[in-house]
Structure 1
Amino acid sequence: MVTEAAIRTKPLRIKVHPDDNVAIVANSGGLPAGTVFDDGLTLVDHVPQGHKVALTDIPEGGIVRRYGEVIGTADRPLAKGCWIDEFSVRLPAPPVLEELPLATKVPAPLPPLDGYTFDGYRNPDGSVGTRNILGISTSVHCVAGTVDYVVRLVKEKLLPRYPNVDDVVGLNHLYGCGVAINAPAAVVPIRALQNLALNPNFGGEIMVVSLGCEKLQPERLVPEAYAGEADDTIVRMQDERFTGFQAMVDAIMAMAETHLETLNRRKREPVPASELVVGMQCGGSDAFSGVTANPAVGFCSDLLVRAGATVMFSEVTEVRDAVHLLTPRCKTEAIGRALIREMDWYDRYLAAGETDRSANPTPGNKKGGLANIVEKALGSIAKSGTSAISGVLAPGEKATTRGLIFAATPASDFVCGTMQLASGITLQVFTTGRGTPYGLAAVPVIKMATRKDLSARWHDLIDIDAGRIATGEKTIEEIGWELFHLLLEVASGRKKPWSDHWGLHNALAVFNPAPVT
């Protein structure tokens, strides 16, 4: 085991794969030029924590390899022991989609993991929630202020009378009018809004607040099964029966109370872990993400799949450059082609905006040691574990199969989170190397730090410290099991992640690739 004192004094580096010609510096604060490692490697430059050091001389144009994969070519001759930053590495071409192998290395099923349960809420449609929440959908952003006002009133005046209801959440968004409602790409935000209302944590209680004149008419957000009950599910503020704002508020409050009465009858009951639907996401990634937190999440993903649960990983631009490692894992060629379809759709989406995947890494990602999107993607897909990919969802589609699923979303934290909610997650795991207070009101978000430094500084925002893997205090498997058990506790309502403790919840950000008029 590496001690804390060694972390502070002994020069440490992490090489991921035997074929790598770079390693990352593990020491807090980095290491100065002249530092000598146990094997004689001497640093030519100061190398910040998480940044890469050349393990051999790399000529200009030579391959730079991490995770056993090419992350780029040297922009200039790179001497052994030098610091390799984002300016040192040229971005390579992405994998050619038409040449990818499909279902050629499908992993054998892992042994079943039986006997694990959580206390969840069974719904009439067969789904299971981890929370009991009244979700108030909106058909247009015009009513967002009204819904916020009503949510405050419901929390103050109604919720105390319904102790079995955890919360009330307004599903506000920026869509609904001033948009090309019939444009082909409009299917994405409309589908997402329809499915957000059906998230299992809302118990099947559909409630929509509408203005009345918007392009996205509220009936489109109400499932067909509820069509005959529109009077119990939709309030239109422009309805001529209302005289004054208070009359509108009273109508919304009355409808809310009807749904609260139903939700209050929901009770937690033991259900198998197979009923979990967990989203895996990363944000504020750094060079440790693919070494500590994401591999631990990947191990937990395999545990969940073994238990029969549903696991989603996402973020197209953080998959695109590693997709050649995923298409062979697809259970069937059809699933592989669906994965390629989503990569191709996003390639064309970025091209239409006159940009490409290189726009993804943030300044924080680079400060944390990530040279480019290729290196970021190779670390990101570690969240998917080793299981076969059993399904692919277009943005905002609802999951209908179990196992490991790729749910196509943008990499933006808040957009990805919103779209995973639409796809039906009831819990989310969020890994970070730079730190973020991110959270969602509709589902609990468990945050895992990649580094001990971050976990110590953000001790009351980070739920699990995966930095212990880098120090040798814990293994990937041990942190993976720790996360698995925490998921069951949080799903059962016995533990709160820090984001829920503080009430740190991001606004919804529905992905809209269609024109705004």
Structure 2
Amino acid sequence: MLITLHDTPAIQLHPADDVAIALTPLGSKRQIAIAGRSVQLRSDIGAGHKVALRPIEPGQPVRRYGQVIGFATQPIAAGEHVHTQNMAVGDMQLDYQIGVDVRPVTLVPPEERRTFLGYRRPDGRVGTRNTLVIITTVNCSAHVVRQIGARARAELLPKFPNVTDIVAIAHKSGCASRSSGYEIEMLRRTLAGFARSPNVADYLFVGLGCETNQFEDLFLSQRARLGDVQLPPYIGIQDTGGVAATIDEGLREIAARLPRANECRREEVPLSELNLALQCGGSDSFSGVTANPALGYAVDLLVAQGGTAVLSETPEIYGAEHMLTRRAASRAVGEKLLERVHWWEEYTAREGFEIDNNPSHGNKAGGLTTIYEKSLGAVAKGGSTPLQAVYEYAEPVTERGLVFMDTPGYDPVSATGQVAGGCNLIAFTTGRGSCFGFKPVPSIKIATNSVTYERMRGDMDINAGTILTGAGVESVGREIFEKLIAVASGEASLSEAQGIGEEEFNPWMIGATM
């Protein structure tokens, strides 16, 4: 897709679309030519917002991307602004065909495979960073792990140049819940996933001692993931003698682990070892036109190299899941995706929510009206290759290629699950300007429009807004692909360079708090 502002002030993305997208703010009564027809605007139209190309009657579907994004709630005239005042979600019946659009992946020949400089772990996994993490079993030890981390970074880290960082992983859970069952097991596999992240050289757990999430239970339930450790790396505050004593003991434990972690060096590894988490936050109407399709193109390049990309945020594929089932590599994969979507329908209904509550104030200000519209743009991050697997939250990702993980749409919670599943790099698209970082995994920010990119130059790594002025999706996709390799090899992303990412750890807690 090649778009230039001097060609047209608005674009129709598909011949079947009922709306066009304004590329710049357009004034009322302006006459514009779009896709061979002339339309006079009946009101001001903001950049990224929709203008009707033809009359639409109440109850009729409204299409963008050639897909239904909602239904007219009142008569809409040609040239009228289409948004929350005259369009909403409705009862839409999707065609859940499975596997009909599977296109076999042509892998790059071995002699043409790309590499990056990563950290090879003893079990064969590869990290993009070489970090030590200190993890709480419960919120009661959050202050302690943060103090251990802060002092270790200041007092110890400068002596070990091959260690990337020392990160405190704290959360607000671990007690006031059942001692067994789905909810706490999900927390335990999330914590174990961070301890055994490919970006982590070593780890230390710190608890209070009387919490529901007892470390012994965590260790036993996650032993296959944590490994056959003779002496579990754990400190209990009540056993050690209080806060100050535990901080001192924690420093000694970290000091003992640093020399071994410092022995690890970057080495050339195949790009197939890259596990990329796909995220979008602060989306706008351009997300599905620029950054997400460009990231999808980069994902296709990565998958052709044998790498892995993890799409997630189940509430943000809602209304577009049929696009993914068509690419499911097997019936089991397609049916598991639909099972997770139906779980969300039941979950939100039980909690008195609607999934269409998802578009935020910023999303709507950026031109997105319904969750269907947002989702159709969001799935573009996944490129065009087959969907190989569907995982529950924080499960270890073992399949290569494009896979899906069931997570909420809230970025910190979603990324926490992806990283716990083994992702060693994050690509994050944003239209409004999210300042997201996520230790111990670097996050690359991709702006959907040039206004956001210029306004937040210190935070945006890639400007996909150049697609609107002629750069093309393929060109920006290759730029993203090269940035993935550079950051995986040690180049700091802009959020990483600013130290952002220690507060974003946020495990998904779906059970009752007692």
Pick the TM interval, shorter chain: over 0.9
Q: Distance in 1 between matches of 2:179 and 2:343?
A: 20
Alignment of 1:120-139 (within 5 A): 120-139=118-137
**Is this contact kept in 2: 1:194–1:220, CA < 8 A?**
no
Amino acid paired to 1:359: N
**Aligned mate of 2:151, from 153, 158, 173:** 153
**Is this contact kept in 1: 2:412–2:505, CA < 8 A?**
yes
CA deviation profile, 1:210-261 (whole Å, cap 9, x unmatched): 111111111344452667645451111111xx34543322211111112212
Residue 483 (structure 1) aligned with residue 468 (structure 2):
no
**Is this contact kept in 2: 1:275–1:309, CA < 8 A?**
yes
Q: Distance in 2 between matches of 1:406 and 1:227?
A: 26
**Aligned mate of 2:512, from 495, 512, 515:** 515
Q: Secondary structure at the match of 1:206?
A: strand
Q: Distance in 2 between matches of 1:110 and 1:351?
A: 42
Residue 246 (structure 1) aligned with residue 241 (structure 2):
no
Q: Give the superposition deviation at 1:328.
A: 1.5
Residue in 1 aligned with 2:194?
196
Q: Secondary structure at the match of 2:70?
A: strand
Residue 499 (structure 1) aligned with residue 498 (structure 2):
no
Alignment of 1:67-86 (within 5 A): 67-86=65-84
Q: CA 1:90 to 1:228, structure 2 compared with 1: closer, same or farther past 3 Å? A: closer
**Is this contact kept in 1: 2:144–2:243, CA < 8 A?**
no
Residue in 2 aligned with 1:445?
443
The total of aligned residue pairs comes to: 504
CA deviation profile, 1:28-55 (whole Å, cap 9, x unmatched): xx11111122453211111111000001
Q: CA 1:227 to 1:278, structure 2 compared with 1: closer, same or farther past 3 Å? A: closer
Q: CA 1:334 to 1:63, structure 2 compared with 1: closer, same or farther past 3 Å? A: same
Residue 260 (structure 1) aligned with residue 258 (structure 2):
yes
CA deviation profile, 1:249-291 (whole Å, cap 9, x unmatched): 2211111112212111101000010000000110011110000
Q: Secondary structure at the match of 2:245?
A: helix
Q: Distance in 2 between matches of 1:346 and 1:126?
A: 36
Q: Secondary structure at the match of 2:467?
A: helix
Alignment of 1:404-443 (within 5 A): 404-443=402-441
Alignment of 1:20-99 (within 5 A): 20-27=17-24, 30-38=25-33, 39-95=37-93
Q: Which runs of 5+ in 1 are unaligned?
A: none
Q: Secondary structure at the match of 1:326?
A: helix
- 438-447 vs 173-182, which moves further: 173-182
Residue 109 (structure 1) aligned with residue 108 (structure 2):
no
Q: Distance in 2 between matches of 1:94 and 1:420?
A: 30
Q: Distance in 1 between matches of 2:85 and 2:422?
A: 40
Residue 12 (structure 1) aligned with residue 21 (structure 2):
no
Q: Distance in 2 between matches of 1:287 and 1:228?
A: 49
Q: Distance in 1 between matches of 2:40 and 2:22?
A: 12
Q: Which runs of 5+ in 2 are unaligned?
A: none
Q: Distance in 1 between matches of 2:142 and 2:92?
A: 41
CA deviation profile, 1:187-216 (whole Å, cap 9, x unmatched): 32222122121111003x232111111111
Residue in 2 aligned with 1:294?
292
Residue in 2 aligned with 1:209?
206
Q: Secondary structure at the match of 1:37?
A: strand
Q: Give the superposition deviation at 1:163.
A: 1.1
Amino acid paired to 2:389: G
Task: Return the TM-score normalized by structure 1.
Answer: 0.94
Amino acid paired to 2:492: K
Q: Distance in 2 between matches of 1:228 and 1:125?
A: 13
Work out the percentage of aligned pairs sharing the same amino acid. Answer: 38
**Is this contact kept in 2: 1:140–1:173, CA < 8 A?**
yes
Q: Secondary structure at the match of 2:319?
A: helix
Q: Give the superposition deviation at 1:11.
A: 5.5
Amino acid paired to 1:499: S
**Is this contact kept in 2: 1:87–1:371, CA < 8 A?**
no
Q: Secondary structure at the match of 2:512?
A: coil
- 181-190 vs 392-401, which moves further: 181-190
**Is this contact kept in 1: 2:3–2:472, CA < 8 A?**
no
Q: Secondary structure at the match of 2:320?
A: helix
- The runs of 4+ residues in structure 1 deviating greater than 6 Å are none
